[in-house]
Structure 1
Amino acid sequence: MDQSHQPELIGSPARQRILKQQQQSQQLARTRIRKQKLKFTFIGYLIVLVFLAIVQFIGIGFFTQGFLLSRQVLPNISECTNDQLNTCHPARFEKAVVLVIDALRFDFAIPVEGSEEYYHNNFPILHKLAQKDNAVLLKFMADPPTTTLQRLKGLTTGSLPTFIDAGSNFDGDAIDEDNWLLQLHRRNQSIAFMGDDTWYALFNEYVNPELNFPYPSLNVWDLDTVDNGVIEHLFPLIQKENRTQWDVLIGHFLGVDHVGHRYGPRHFSMKEKLNQMNQVIEDTIKQIDDKTLLIVMGDHGMDSTGNHGGDSLDELESTLFLYSKNKRFNKKSNDHYNVSELGKNYRSVNQIDLVSTISLLLGLPIPYNNLGFPIDEAFSNDHELNQVIFKAAQQIQSFRDATPNLSPIINEKYRLFMLDYSVNSENKKQWEHLIQSAKDYQYESLEECKRLWARFDLKMISFGIIIIFLSLTFTLTYARSIPSVRVLTMSFEFIGSVIAMSLLGLVLSFSMFVVLKPTDFNLKRCLGLGASLGIIIGFWAPIMDRFSLNWLWHQVRDFFIYNFNSWSFLGLIFVSLHCLIFASNSYVVWEDQMVLFLIITFGFCCIFGSLVNTSLPRTQRILCILHAITFTVLSRVASSITLCREEQRPYCEPTFKSSWWSIVLLHVSSYTLPTIVKSFYELSDSYHSAAPLWIGTGVKFLMFMNAIYWTVEYVQNSEYFLASNFNLSEPLLKSLKLAIARLVLFISLILANFSWSRGPLCVKLDIKEEVSQDSENPSQPQKTATILGYGNVYGSSYFLLVLNFAIAIMLVTKPIGVISLNILIVQILSLLELFDALDIRKNLIAPVVFGLLGYQHFFSTGHQATIPSIQWEIGFMTTESIVFPFTHINIVLNTFGSFFIICLAIPLITLWKIAPSSKPITVLSQIVTNVTTLITYQIFTSLSSLIFAAHFRRHLMVWKIFAPRFMLSGMLLIVFNVFLILITLWFGTGKIVTQVNRIFGK
């Protein structure tokens, strides 16, 4: 052997090992670089979306501050004086017992012949006593919004609430304006209180601490705790030996209101509560003495569903009852009671009129900000009424004198009234004329104040609209994936520009605030404006520096021309039509039907597209047609579940009611939905590994527990159960429900999501042995390996996360709404199959239809763009009292549940039925495109809602229709951004793309 070649031969295996190690090292280095690049790209996307979300939030904040103004409260406090401006009147009563029966609608207190409703003819004592001269029953008209806190403000201060005050119903800050409780406190008179703790939040400093017994008020599923607590403390205090401890006693009952929220007025429990209140009033009348005034009143009514907060007649009409054992009231000759007309001939008074009335009856100064007028019937005769109207007019004019920008014409009317009064105050023939003149003056003054407090800050509104529009310009460009712009935004040069410009904007705005000291812009507003403009400039500056505006225009034009087809056109039409809905109050009212029309239109387009798509194999085309038909039919079925707005009557019949058949459907769906989901997984051969555990066991078990919860709830609330002697079972059933709700929410939101983030993919390695069929050359069996579910590894695994949240949302949704959410899950799966078969997953129409589905099931789960449709009672499914954040999470999941499911499912448009990609950044980019397209769609609808709300700010229906809809739009924009960024992208998409890339990446 040649010795010269010996070292090479000897070294050959070593060299091969070295080369192999080098190749492995290079491969590991490339893999590590790809992982780092994927990580940095992902972080870049999140940073961009976070900054865009901040701009949108700032825009919403500006618009809200300009649109929902709160009035300025005058700090003045009325006093009794000896000069001409003496607003006090000799007291007719030494003491007063004020009993508030929350949500006591007027027809609850009057007889209704022939009615078999539980809320009729079960509270007869007020009407019975009102037939005598020492009692009077009046229709008590509330001012919207009809929420308890706002009504208590009106009932104690005599002023009008503004719409934004409705948002403070859970934030009961002490009232900082003059009120009759403050006046009692200033006179060292003792106030005893028991009941709704809203009074405690508002008036705690005025109530005798030894006689203060507040009870939690917001647990609407608890019908008895507050009422029993009031009764427990009320009757001992009104006994003769304890009357010296108090001068005014206030009791606020909540049972009637809670029955309405929990069951609606047509429930057996309403009869029991009204009977109980009837007995309370009867026993109270027996206990009080001759020097005590009894006032029984409701703070608002309730609609046909038992809710309140809006301004329908049923919500505004409440009850006022005045009673004294020996003093006559000034009942008018036309006060007759026509039972058949449901209170048509009862006189109506405004709730704010109670303030001046109770002040004058107790000898107190009328609160300074009061706008109401003394109630005629509360005084003994026209002579006394003639005296008190003079004092009330003085008080109103003193308020007007201290309030700028009020009409001098009305002030002149006051001057003429005073002249007339000074001449004719002792002329009996002129008393009626003087009373009417004073009423006319008060009415015109009140109407002017209403107009004044409806003044909008157009500057703030404009800033809000402009900021949201600027965020839309970049989001729209960014969403539809102009590649060069998308690549630029991933660079830290771009992100650095955004951060730097936002900081610069904050510094400049702060400096301008310090130097210029603007009167109409506080520091918070200046910083918000500076930050938002800085972020927008930070976005556009690098793009304009790198690319010319003309180049961008050609990129946008070429992109839309290249991608434009009939499906894109349909998507643009849908977005445009949804935005134009807000131009009409009728369309806003019927938005649920408009959304249904768009969805059904898409369904029929899919059916037609499947029929004419000859490129599909026959079997696949038939399957595609079936999916399209399924989607269309289910959309129509879901739309039959409705909770009608007041404006939709009588053309809408509500079907969102709990009944025995909805409970049966819950149990059936706990087996059918997992079976249907399994069948979709089997279409892509993905029902392996984690899928059987999640779908076949986990989902089935949790849905069955949901069904058990609502079964117990239905049985517990059934008329038979309430009328029987099963009271011993009540604590057991309550504990059982709490345990089930907590268990399901913990498993679905915490345990299942943690397991999902650490669990396996829905794939299976199938190894088979194949023997050669050649008999002449037999060979050893050959093993072949197949990865089952490989073609849908992203989608099948990610959909398990959607199911986790869907189960939690189903728990906090009422039974018939759960059926709607079951339909939503099947609709999503059908859509994913259609997007794949029709090859429209990258089209504009895909995320738009997903967004429309969110709206459809928002309506079909018992919600509307109104305050009364908020299902507050759901907050107490897992807690017996308000516990942050658990009570709030329940309400948020219930209200926005359908949108959460849609936001979580958006990545499936890209991920469903695709094999592992060697370019995960491309997959991630397509997901972000769909996510930002959904955000863009919501920005368009929100911006349209804001613009038309501002345009119709003087419309008759602005506070009933346009304002609640703009508030829903603003909240949805916040919800979409937060959920899509934190849950959909950061938790869901990031995990699944990274895991698949780690296992299957090359």
Structure 2
Amino acid sequence: MAQESTEYQQIKAQFAAAKAKAQNDGNQRGQKPAQTPAAASASVRFKTQHFLASLIFIWFLLLHVIGIFLFTKGFLLTRLVLEDKSTCAGPPIKLSDHGDCWLPKTFDKAVVIIIDALRYDFTVPHNETEHYLNALTVLHETSQSQPQNAFLRPFIADPPTTTLTRLKGLTTGTLPTFVDAGSNFAGTAIDEDNLVAQLKDAGKTIVHLGDDTWHSLFPGYFDPNLTKSYDSFNVWDLHTVDNGVIEHLLPLLKIPERWDVIFGHFLGVDHAGHRYGPDHPAMAAKLRQMDEVLRQVIEQLSDDTLLVVMGDHGMDSKGDHGGESDDEIEAALWMYSRKGVFGRTDPGHIQPPKTAKIRPVNQIDLVPTLSLLLGLPIPFNNLGWPIEEAFVGADGQHFEHLSAAYALSGAQIHEYQEKYASVRGSDTNAMILPEAAWQASLTKWDKPLPNKKADQNHWLEISQLFSAYQKEHLKVCKSLWARFDLASMGMGILVLGFALLALIHFASSAAGDRLKIIPVVLRQAFPAAVLGIVLGRMVGFTALELPSLDLSLLGGSLGSLAGYAIAVGSQSLSIPLPTSLWSWASVVFTLSQSVGFASNSFTIWEDEILLFFLSTFGVLALLSSLRQRNPMGQVLGSYHSILFLFLSRISSLSRLCREEQMPICRSTFYASATSSTSAIWQLFIPYVVATLLPSILKSYYSGTRSYEGISAFWIGFCFRLGLLGTAVYWTIDAADNGEWFASISPTTLSGMKIHLAQILLGLAFIAGAVIFIWAPLCIQVLQSTTSEPTKSIIIFGHANVHGSRYALLYIAWHLGITIVSKPMANGSLAVMGWQLFSLLEILDINGLTPTLTQTTPSIASTMVALIASFYYFKTGHTATLSSIQWDVAFLSQSTIRYPWSPLLVMLNHFASFILAAVFIPLVALWKQPAPGNKRPLSSVLNDICSALADFIVYFAVESLATTMWAGHLRRHLMLYRIFNPRFLMGAAVLLIVDVIGIFVGLMFGIWCNIGSVAEVFGWN
């Protein structure tokens, strides 16, 4: 490195001498010599331009944040949380026998066991040989052999199938919404009436064991001396939580006088699914462990204790959950009692259903069932319904008792709905509630009979009427109850739309005008934004129907955009139409992609559409290259075009199929469709990447003689070493998962992984940043050895002095992103990097890089954006919650640590977009020579702004389109399965490319890069 530094100083000294010589020659010709203050002035001028350019992009970022916030605020469904509490003293309907509360209690105590992710088919016998089958048998055995003591039914969860959301539904009986508006809006604790609160108010001693999520939802409710909670986020740990629950649960059953209700939450089945997938020996082992534990619990159970075992959700074929596929929503519910109080109205129902499609029960039905069985009032906000088996009696003929339970639950629901409607006022008018069904049920209930107890048909009819009312009411609530705020949604779309128009105008502005209008725009936009905020606030005080915050944000956004229009008023506000085949291609790719999001099938097969667009560009580039006049250009252009097509096709082999793509799609990203780990052969991919990718990047550097100095050290040694370390990491990870080395402690392997990952991340992001900041240019200076008086200077790498150095930053980020990506994704990202550099050559050969005269959409930026979108799917992700690879949160630490764990997940999930945002300045920098009169630094900065603006335009159009389609299709059957996830992804991607492109690419990368170039060649 000392030699490099000396050579770097020699370069500057040589150029200083050449500059002094030029000044002396100018003096001899009577010209005014260049003065040092002029150079200083040029430096200040460029720094000012760079700072203002960063500010205007930050302004666009703020507009995107405001627009997305406003739309999201109105779109993500809300539910008003009522603070009313049900009490024993105020039953919603009159009964002849209330007992101590609404109904006489059946049990004094309860043990509620949640086996996280217990899918229904895990509990019933099958003839197949999958590992997860026929391992947990006690539930089916007892429900079949002892039908009066136990019953097993499918337990259907309301999506989203996340643990926290499901626990809310299991304790409150309410439907999930994205935002529950209540007194504690910002907190996670449940404030509304719920089962745990009713137990606490009744003076019950409540014990919790297991998943610590319960303590964030119900702080202070559990007995501190008996309760034991455990960290729930380490999905790599299959045993700590389960062993802890078992250790404390079984002894507690021997001292029933110390507790009334026990909640035990096991996590091993869920973690086994996340780590290995359901079809793995580890899953079978966990299910067998649960079977053994439940048998021990049954043996120690007292007669007055109810045992409930359930899953909060299921899991898909890879062990993930969060969506609404059948495997994710179909859990199991089993109830057991020594008393023999359970019955069936239909004798054929004694046999548990073979599939979850037969006789399912909603998860919200657990709340009224447990409440009435334990002698508690049903929580006020409940929408669930008592489960038939628990109230119809052992002989299945106690219809009077069943109708009483139904009447109480129906009356509670009706009372809640009346209160909700009165609080909401006119907001609930659109809901057509089943009032006729309620009146029919109530009339039949109040009708006197000579001998009510003898008339079982009468009670059966009442039960059927109340049940029909509840089903109809629940159907209405699921479709219409949650309220969309159309005003906020419209405001968000308005801000995003006008911001997009301003961004397109800025991107398509003439090169000479773009940097000039920035200071004018900023001077106009700021005071206009302040004025808009004030006006919006004033309107908010008078328009009571609209929140003043929304109006202030809208006013500030539109005010600043009006300031932009005023600033460029002297110029044409029109946006020029495409003038070439390439600019038309850019527009067609962008618009057709965005318009297609109105179709659910287009969204489902988005990866195939993107492959078609990339292939189309490759064919057009090949045809264009063949038309080049220079034979060498024809050959190189054709080579890179064919290579581009080949890489697109190769990368398409990596894919993770959506549920909707089955069965015609075959996933290759994991070892199998039922695994969350990589196949053994995939572990060789990172080693191949470590061997080939540095050499491939070297070839692109060598083409411009830029593989000199620091580039050889960083690419040839550091980058290769980091990639090799990544390969070793995933090998150790596979050894840990597969338990290859029984003699080595799993703790040792985990520790090795964590330390190695920390070293690699430090190499990529810390060492990479330091090297990029202080590295000399990737050039070599040679001086002729002739004996002539004036010796010539040869500079290798001069033709790519900007691009070769900036690419070092991209390579550092590529290494960091590769570290947090799984083995198959390592290969995909390597192909992506190769394809991006091949794209640079195509753009250069065909003259498609940003130029001083460009005023139309850039195909260069559009193709980088398309590549980023394509490789999002090739790195094992889809626009679904279940595709998030949560396990990478533990890549460099054994527990959840903020903000590092979320950052690792974000780097993994949005890997391709982050890399593309870091890469985009290279579109304007690659093969750009040192600054001079023909290529001043200001023009370089202008081209970078153009490339970045066009790049953001693509994602802004996509985000606006997914936002509009999600709003338009807000009542579509596939909203939450397809359109809403795609909207959320589009919004997140837009903000990420904004942040990375501005702060990493434009502000940090360009500043360090151009500063280093200017130190040697001057601030021209």
TM-score by length of 2: 0.90
Does residue 694 (structure 1) correspond to residue 714 (structure 2)? The answer is yes
Is the aligned partner of 1:501 residue 2:528?
Answer: yes
Correspondence for 1:354: 366
Do the aligned partners of 1:832 and 1:909 also contact (CA within 8 Å) in 2? yes
Give the equivalent residue in structure 2 for 1:526. 551
Structure-2 residue corresponding to 1:72: 80
Q: What is the distance in 1 between the residues matched to 2:755 and 2:899?
A: 18
Match of 2:152 in 1: 137
Amino acid in the other structure paired with 2:470? Q
* Matching residue of 2:65: 57
> What is the alpha-carbon distance in structure 1 between the residues aligned to residue 599 and residue 793 of structure 2?
62
Is 1:243 the equivalent of 2:251?
no
1:841-860 paired onto structure 2 within 5 Å: 841-842=849-850, 844-860=858-874
Does the 8 Å CA contact 2:126/2:133 hold for their aligned counterparts? yes
> Structure 1 residue aligned with 2:682, among 652, 659, 662?
662
1:480-499 paired onto structure 2 within 5 Å: 480-483=508-511, 485-491=513-519, 493-499=520-526
Amino acid at match of 1:366: I
Q: 1:609 to 1:117 in 2, by over 3 A?
A: same
Alignment of 1:395 onto 2:412: yes
Relative to structure 1, is the Cα distance of residues 37 and 781 closer, same or farther in structure 2, using a 3 angstrom cutoff? closer
Which is further off, 580-589 or 504-513? 504-513
SS in structure 2 at match of 1:250: strand
Check the 8 A contact 1:44/1:489 in 2, yes or no.
no
Q: Is the 8 A contact 1:335 1:347 kept in 2?
A: no
Say if 2:118 and 2:313, in contact at 8 Å, map to a contact too.
Answer: yes
Note the alpha carbon deviations across 1:651-694, whole angstroms, 9 max, x for none: 11111111111101211211111111111111111111011111
Classify 1:23/1:342 alpha carbon distance in 2 versus 1 (closer, same or farther; 3 Å).
farther
Counterpart amino acid of 1:916?
A
Which stretches in structure 1 are left out of the alignment for 5+ residues? 1-14, 771-778
Give yes or no for the alignment of 1:582 onto 2:611.
no
1:593-642 CA deviation, whole Å, 9 max, x = no partner?
A: 111110111111112222222x122x342222111111111111111211
| Residues 336-356 of structure 1 deviation map (CA, whole Å, 9 limit, x = unaligned) | 5889x8426752100000000
| Distance change >3 Å, CA 345–CA 878, structure 1 → 2 | closer
Change (3 A) 1:338 1:360: closer
Correspondence for 1:943 among 945, 960, 967: 960
Q: Give the match for residue 717 of structure 1.
A: 737
Residues 752-799 of structure 1: per-residue CA shift (max 9 Å, x gap): 1122111111111123424xxxxxxxx679854311111111111111
Correspondence for 2:329 among 292, 305, 316: 316
Match of 1:8 in 2: none
State whether residues 143 and 160 of structure 1, in contact with CA within 8 Å, keep that contact through their aligned partners in structure 2. Answer: yes
The reply on whether 1:159 has 2:174 as its aligned counterpart is yes
Answering whether residue 723 of structure 2 is matched by residue 677 of structure 1, we say no
1:594 corresponds in structure 2 to: 609
Task: Compare the two structures and name the one with the higher helix fraction.
Answer: 1
Q: Which amino acid aligns with 1:235?
A: L
Distance across 1 between alignment mates of 2:758 and 2:150: 50
Secondary structure of the equivalent of 2:315? Answer: coil
**Structure 1 residues 540 and 137, CA gap change in structure 2 (3 angstroms):** same
CA distance in 2, matches of 1:447, 1:208: 38
CA distance in 1, matches of 2:270, 2:24: 84
- Residues 358-383 of structure 1, C-alpha deviation per residue, up to 9 Å, x if partnerless? 00110000111111110011232442
2:641 to 624, 628, 634: 628
Partner of 1:814: 822
Q: Deviations over 1:398-425 (max 9, x none)?
A: 1122121376762332222122123365
Equivalent position of 2:803 in the other structure: 795
Which of these residues, 425, 440, 446, is aligned with residue 422 of structure 1?
A: 446
- Asked if the contact 2:432–2:476 (Cα under 8 Å) also holds between the matched residues in 1, the reply is no
Residue type of the alignment partner of 1:860: K
Would you say the 8 A contact 2:722–2:815 is kept in 1?
yes
Deviation at 1:715, TM superposition (A): 1.4
What is the rounded CA distance, in whole Å, between the counterparts of 1:109 and 1:682 in structure 2?
62
CA deviation after TM superposition for structure 1 residue 937, in Å: 1.1
Residues 136, 331 of structure 1: 8 Å contact kept = no
Alignment of 1:201 onto 2:255: no
Structure 2 CA distance for aligned equivalents of residues 333 and 466 of structure 1? 57
For 1:442 and 1:982, how far apart are their aligned partners in 2? 54
Provide the residue aligned with 2:15 in structure 1. Answer: none
| Aligned with 1:888 (options 888, 902, 911) | 902
Q: Is the 8 A contact 1:172 1:201 kept in 2?
A: no
Q: Helix, strand or coil for the counterpart of 1:210?
A: coil
Query: In the alignment, does 2:753 pair up with 1:737?
Result: yes
- Alpha-carbon RMSD: 2.3
CA offset at residue 455 of structure 1?
2.9
The answer for the alignment partner of 2:948 in structure 1 is 931
Match of 2:778 among 744, 762, 782: 762
Does structure 2 conserve the Cα–Cα contact (< 8 Å) formed by 1:337 and 1:343? no
**Counterpart residue type for residue 226 of structure 1:** V
Q: Quote how far apart the aligned CAs of 1:261 are.
A: 1.4
Between 393-402 and 734-743, the greater mean CA deviation after superposition = 393-402
Distance, in Å, in 1 between the alignment partners of 2:929 and 2:192 is 67
Q: Which letter does structure 1 place at the counterpart of 2:798?
A: Y
* Paired residue type of 1:984: G
Q: Select the residue among 704, 707, 726 that pairs with 2:727.
A: 707
1:573-611 C-alpha deviation (Å, 9 max, x unpaired): 111211111121110111111111101111111122222
* CA distances 1:44-101 after superposition (whole Å, capped 9, x unpaired): 1111111121111111111111111210011110011277456721111111000000
Asked if 2 retains the 8 angstrom alpha-carbon contact of 1:674 and 1:699, the reply is: yes
Alpha carbons of 1:90 and 1:992: their partners in 2 closer, same or farther (altered >3 Å)?
Answer: same
Q: Report the secondary structure of 1:97's partner residue.
A: strand
Q: Report the secondary structure of 1:413's partner residue.
A: helix
Percent of residue pairs identical: 38
Distance 2:347 2:593 in 1: 52
1:117 to 130, 151, 160: 130
User: SS in structure 1 opposite 2:568?
Assistant: helix
Q: Is the contact made by 2:24 and 2:33 (CA closer than 8 Å) also made in structure 1?
A: no
- Paired position in structure 1 for 2:12: none
Partners of 1:278 and 1:917 lie apart in 2 by 74
- 2: CA distance between counterparts of 1:136 and 1:230? 24
- Deviation for aligned residue 1:431: 3.0
**SS in structure 1 at match of 2:803:** helix
- 2: CA distance, partners of 1:737 / 1:175: 38
Pairs aligned (count): 953
Q: Displacement of 1:39 after TM fit?
A: 0.6
Deviations along 1:421-454, whole A, 9 cap, x unmatched? 2336531123332222111000111112223333
SS in 1 for 2:927: coil
Task: Say which of 207, 222, 225 aligns to 2:237.
Answer: 222
- SS of residue matched to 2:795: strand
Q: 1:124 and 1:893, CA in 2 relative to 1: closer, same or farther beyond 3 A?
A: same
Aligned to 2:624: 609
1:822-833 to structure 2, matched below 5 A, reads 822-833=830-841
